Structure 1
Amino acid sequence: MGKRDNRVAYINPIAAARARGPVQSSGPSIQDYLSRPRPTWEELKEQLDKKKKGSRALADFEDKMNERWRKELAKNREKLIGARENQKERKATEQRDKHKREVHSLN
């Protein structure tokens, strides 16, 4: 019985790749990207104007929120003004009472 031959053939990977030929790329090349059609200046301006306008739904939502905010602001102002008026009235009555006490204490 003879020995088994356990040698493995070595293949240079670079040489094998060169032998196969150029690699077929999947997808667009750099040249395709550079030569792609581009919009004209007018088309670009139109796109920018559309973006500035925004969506109608968003504008409606913002208007609704502004209305709610105005109502809440008015309500809070009324509360503050009412509180200030109450403070002024209290101060006035306290001054009258204090003046009455002073007048009565002098007598």
Structure 2
Amino acid sequence: MGKRDNRVAYVNPIAAARSRGPVQNSGPTIQDYLGRPRPTWEEIKEQLEKKKKGSRALADFEDKMNERWKKELAKNREKLLGDKSKKKRKKKHKKHSGKKKRKLASPSDSELD
């Protein structure tokens, strides 16, 4: 039994591609793109005006969302301001109680330590 011949012939990839022939394009060519119909200047102006106006439904939706947002902000502000006023009351209470304690202690007591 002889050895198997496992040599592979080298194929030039460029030559192989040329032998297959021209590549079939799946999409439009550059000529198709350049030759497409284009809108006139008047049509472009009309489109821009429509974009500026926008849709009425979108404007209504934005207004409704703005109202909801304002209500939510007002609630959050009230909540935060309520919390701050409670904290201020507690701080004032703490300050007053601290001052009373200091007044009761005599200055000579601190010198002894």
TM over 0.5, yes or no?
yes
Cα pair distance change 1:45/1:100, threshold 3 Å: same
1:58 aligns to what SS in structure 2?
Answer: helix
Amino acid paired to 1:76 = N
**Deviations 1:31-74, CA, capped at 9 Å, x for gaps:** 7x8374x4321221111221232211111011100110011011
Q: 2:42 maps to which residue? A: 42
Instruction: Give aligned pairs, total.
Output: 75
2:39 aligns to what SS in structure 1?
Answer: coil
Unaligned runs of 5+ in 2: 1-30, 107-113
Q: Distance in 2 between matches of 1:89 and 1:39?
A: 70
Q: 1:73 maps to which residue? A: 73
Amino acid paired to 1:34 = G
TM-superposed deviation, 1:99: 1.3
Task: Return the TM-score normalized by structure 1.
Answer: 0.59
Q: Distance in 2 between matches of 1:35 and 1:63?
A: 41
Q: Distance in 2 between matches of 1:61 and 1:99?
A: 57
Cα RMSD (Å): 2.2
- Structure 1 segments of 4+ aligned residues over 4 angstroms from their partners: none
Q: Distance in 2 between matches of 1:98 and 1:51?
A: 66
Q: 2:89 maps to which residue? A: 89
Amino acid paired to 1:73 = L
1:84 aligns to what SS in structure 2?
Answer: helix
